[in-house]
Amino acid sequence: MTVEAQTLTPEAIPAPKKSPTAAALTRMLRFTGMRLITLLFTVVTSIYLTILIANMGGYVDNIRRGDIREAMSIRIMADPVLRALPPDVRAARLEELIRLEEERLGLNQPFMVRSFRYLANALTLNLGRSQNMTSDSGSRQVRLIILERLPATLMLFGLANIFLFFASLFLGLFLSRRYGSFLDKVIIALSPTSSAPGWFYGIFLIVIFAAGFRILPFGGMVGTPVPETTVAYILSLLQHMVLPVAAILVSTIFLTAYNWRTFFLIYSSEDYVEMAKAKGLRSRDVERRYVLRPTLPTIITTFTLLLIGLWTGAPIFETVFNWPGLGQTIFRAVGLYDTPVIVGSTVIFAYLLAVSVFLLDFVYALVDPRVKVGGS
Amino acid sequence: MKSLQRSFKELLRYPSGVASLAIILALLIVSAYTLIAIPYGDAIVLWRGGENIWYQSPKNAPPAWTNFFTSKKLVETMIFNTDDEDINKTYEVSEAGNQTVTFEFPIDYQFDTFPQELTLFTKGTFVEKAPFISIVLVTPDGREIRITDFAVQKTGTYRFSQDDRLARRVGSQFPHEAIFAQPGSDPLVPLKGEYVMKLSLVTFEADSDVDAELVVYGQVYGIAGTDHLRRDLKVALLWGIPVALAFGLLAALGTTITTMSISAIGTWYGGWVGELIQHITQINLVLPLLPILIMVGTFYDRSIWTILGVTILFSIFGGGILTYRAVFMQVKESPYIEAARAYGAGSGRIIFQYLVPRIIPMLIPQLVTLIPTFVFLEASLAVLGLGDPVLPTWGKVIQDAQSNGALYQGLYYWVLEPAVLLMLTGLAFAMLGFSLDRVFNPRLRGI
């Protein structure tokens, strides 16, 4: 279950005795540094794999060659001087043009060489030019198309994830306190509903609240016409975010709260918790210091896995809610068969996953006493 | 075998276990029926067929049972054909040597709304001179409305709503509605009762005849309704069951077995093998599965088997490896493994005969809980437009509905029917997995 727990031990080497805070800081830095290096390696490999899959069997190259041939033929046909040439000269000229263009785009090199150049390009976010899609500012740069969409995705999923984390945490703690109560049983009974993904509940929520009661919008990010004042804009944005955030919550909160409640219950039966209770500490303090502290690393690890699942589902989730983010860009790119945009978006998704994992690792380092204090 | 029986009995003690087993059993029975009633080839032909297969059904019609819940009875689809046994043609030979053929279509009209459309399909048999048909509708209050008359060609289609002369005669833009309306009502109010459509034709040759089919397109259709291409959603909803079950089961089975084997091997050998497997798992964790599946679907092949293979391939090194590893680590240290090693058992024997069986109780609930994930994954891809190109599935129905704005138009049944079926399937397996978890891992039962 715990990805980090296992990789943790070798990194957490006891540092020489300095002042305790400095030692803790070094250890944390070393831990995050090690994780950063591992993750960097992971990201490079996963992006390289993405490129390999995208170009397996040279399909993408063939598409590009076809495009080049067509473009060059059109160019020759459009040029009155070239059109006037005899057919065999013209054909030779066409082949020459195609060869030059392929050379310019690097298609004449063997795939292994090209794949590493693609990798370097992808790592530096040099994602090439799209075939059909343009950014809102009219650019064909895949990087611009994606960067334009990224804030919308980050905002929606960031907000939903923060909501989800704290809501599940409080619900889990509450349930562990009222273990066996009616609400506890209801949540346990509802936990299988988390087998359906967010977009699925999204459809139901849209049917009920947008189509049925007509109190919330069907989708999109802001109302039309776009509100002019900032306050009205934010209000409209929030209104449009209610259903997507609710869909993510409904699809995950029951199972997460149930799992976390179980963790809390396991740790609540530890002797030191009994001891703290016997000492007469307030239950809130017991919960915070003796139950939450040891469970937080595990909870953050499960949350990392949950987050990865949510990120990966973004293409369909955003399509259902017509949310103009990265996921919808992938969906539109599929419709338009825009190879560079599909590959570029996938690369960005790999980055997003890695960054999420890294951020949560950092939080993990903050809360896990083993990292701070050292020892195994 | 005994223990299996005991586990099963214990499973039946959980209400959610019984409910989920009942749902799964029902799904299995219906999918068996589907595979027999609509074989693979037929299903594909039906689902890809256009107007020539589905000309008899209305467009975007909700299922007929919606009538039970509304006070306003919507028109159901009615089809009258001269081939039907209760429709009799009477033949009369006139003095001039021509033949007059008459027949009637009795329309029992007990609805509160009007049909979507009325169409008469005709097929004439003649050599040179086409027979001539005249159509009259007798209303329940005894009025006779002249509909039209025309020469019947080899094949012909007469649409009531597009006949301008009829529209002028009945004084309404919508002649197919006005003929069923109370005279003088505005807005039009339907007149309930027995209508009779009288068709009479004159033939000019000895063997000349006409076959006619009248379709009253209703506003509701069948048990599942229809989509924008007049297709009966029943086909896709039924076929969605075996597809979803097969995809979910195969993917879950393939993933769990490979994941577990790799985890067992990694734990047993440890060292660099274990390290390598851990690293691959970490890399795999950061690979965005859905975008990669989208890429595969777009660039290579979107057949359900390719997608299934790729899904399993990318799920092999999933999070499960780490869960199993924790268990294998404990089992590895057990005395009986040491005993096996002492008498000289090989690694392969220890892994597959001693390690793997120990994890089966944990594996079965995991496997069942995984099924819905894959069922929904297949639906997700179909909703994104990357479903199997030929097979009708639930996800494809949702995608059709979404791309035709079903929710904006109020055609909720179109989205809700496949969604409810998906939900039912997903919930059944998830609930079964939860119950199994409690049966096989009694440790959890306390909490």
Domain ranges of chain A: 31-124, 150-367
Q: What is the pLDDT of residue A374?
A: 56
Chain B hits for A204, CB-CB cut-off 8 Å, are 419
Neighbouring residues of A124: CB distance < 8 A, sequence distance ≥ 6: none
| Structural contact between residues A321 and A244, judged by C-beta atoms closer than 8 angstroms | yes
Chain B hits for A346, CB-CB cut-off 8 Å, are 288, 291-292, 294-295
Angle at A319 between CA A317 and CA A323, to 5 degrees: 85
B53-62, B390-399, B418-427: which has the minimum mean pLDDT? Answer: B53-62
Q: Which amino acid is at B187?
A: P
Whether B447 has a pLDDT exceeding 50, the answer reads: no
* pLDDT tier at A296, thresholds 50, 70, 90: confident
Q: Do A266 and B447 touch (CB under 8 A)?
A: yes
Whether B445 has a pLDDT exceeding 80, the answer reads: no
Whether A9 has a pLDDT exceeding 60, the answer reads: no
Q: Answer yes or no: is the ipTM higher than 0.90.
A: no
* pLDDT tier at A10, thresholds 50, 70, 90: very low
Q: Which of A178, A196, A145, A176 is nearest to A345 (CA)?
A: A145
Q: What is the pLDDT of residue B2?
A: 72
Instruction: Please give the Cα distance from B437 to A259 (Å, whole number).
Output: 13
- Checking phi first, is residue B347 left (phi over 0); if not, alpha (psi -120 to 50) or beta? alpha
Instruction: Please give the Cα distance from B285 to A312 (Å, whole number).
Output: 11
Q: Which backbone phi and psi does A175 adopt, to 5 degrees?
A: -65, -40
- Is A347 near chain B, with CB under 8 Å? no
Q: What is the pLDDT of residue B443?
A: 61
Tokens in use for A144?
């611009």
Crossing angle between the packed helical segments B2-11 and B412-440, to the nearest 10 degrees = 130
**Chain A from 175 to 214: CB within 8 A of any B CB:** 179, 189, 191-197, 199-200, 203-204, 206-207, 210-211
Whether B397 has a pLDDT exceeding 80, the answer reads: yes
Q: Do B286 and A342 touch (CB under 8 A)?
A: no
Q: Residue length, chain B?
A: 447
Neighbouring residues of A62: CB distance < 8 A, sequence distance ≥ 6: none
Beta-strand runs (E) in B42-131: 78-81, 90-93, 99-109, 117-125
Q: What is the pLDDT of residue A19?
A: 67
Q: What is the pLDDT of residue B36?
A: 92
- Is B306 near chain A, with CB under 8 Å? no
| Structural contact between residues B109 and B117, judged by C-beta atoms closer than 8 angstroms | no
**How confident is the model over B142-197, as pLDDT tens digits?**
888 888 888 888 888 888 888 888 888 888 888 888 888 888 777 888 888 889 89
Q: What is the pLDDT of residue A285?
A: 83
Strands ordered across the beta sheet of B193-203: B90-93, B99-109, B193-203, B132-138, B144-151
* pLDDT tier at A15, thresholds 50, 70, 90: very low
Q: What is the pLDDT of residue A241?
A: 92
Domain A150-367 belongs to what topology? MetI-like fold (1.10.3720)
Whether B76 has a pLDDT exceeding 90, the answer reads: no
Q: Do B383 and A204 touch (CB under 8 A)?
A: no
| Structural contact between residues A38 and A60, judged by C-beta atoms closer than 8 angstroms | no
Q: What is the pLDDT of residue B35?
A: 92
Q: Which of B258, B282, B240 is nearest to B363 (CA)?
A: B258
* pLDDT tier at A13, thresholds 50, 70, 90: very low
Q: What is the pLDDT of residue A167?
A: 94
Instruction: Please give the Cα distance from A275 to A269 (Å, whole number).
Output: 10
**How confident is the model over B44-60, as pLDDT tens digits?**
888 887 777 888 888 88
Picking from A179, A335, A349, the nearest residue to B288 by CB comes out as A349
Q: Do B385 and A330 touch (CB under 8 A)?
A: no
Name the 3-class secondary structure at A102.
Answer: helix
Q: Do A195 and B369 touch (CB under 8 A)?
A: yes
Query: Which position has the token pair 């076809």?
Result: A66
Q: Which of B308, B327, B338, B313 is nearest to B263 (CA)?
A: B327
Chain A hits for B379, CB-CB cut-off 8 Å, are 200
Closest residue of chain A to B283, computed from CA coordinates: A42
Burial of B39 (C-beta count, 10 Å sphere; 0-12/13-18/19+): exposed
Instruction: Please give the Cα distance from A291 to A282 (Å, whole number).
Output: 13
Q: Do A200 and B376 touch (CB under 8 A)?
A: yes
Handedness of CA B390, B392, B395, B399 (dihedral sign): positive
> How many residue pairs bridge chain A and chain B with CB atoms within 8 Å of each other?
157
pTM of the model: 0.83
Instruction: Please give the Cα distance from B282 to A38 (Å, whole number).
Output: 9
Whether B251 has a pLDDT exceeding 70, the answer reads: yes
Q: Which of A139, A57, A131, A69 is nearest to A101 (CA)?
A: A69
Tokens in use for A85?
């040439």
A228-232, B82-86, B224-228, B338-342: which has the minimum mean pLDDT? Answer: B82-86
Instruction: Please give the Cα distance from A49 to A54 (Å, whole number).
Output: 8
Chain A hits for B285, CB-CB cut-off 8 Å, are 3, 42, 308, 353, 357
Question: Looking at CA atoms only, how far is residue A294 from chain B in angstroms?
Answer: 19
Name the average pLDDT for chain B.
86
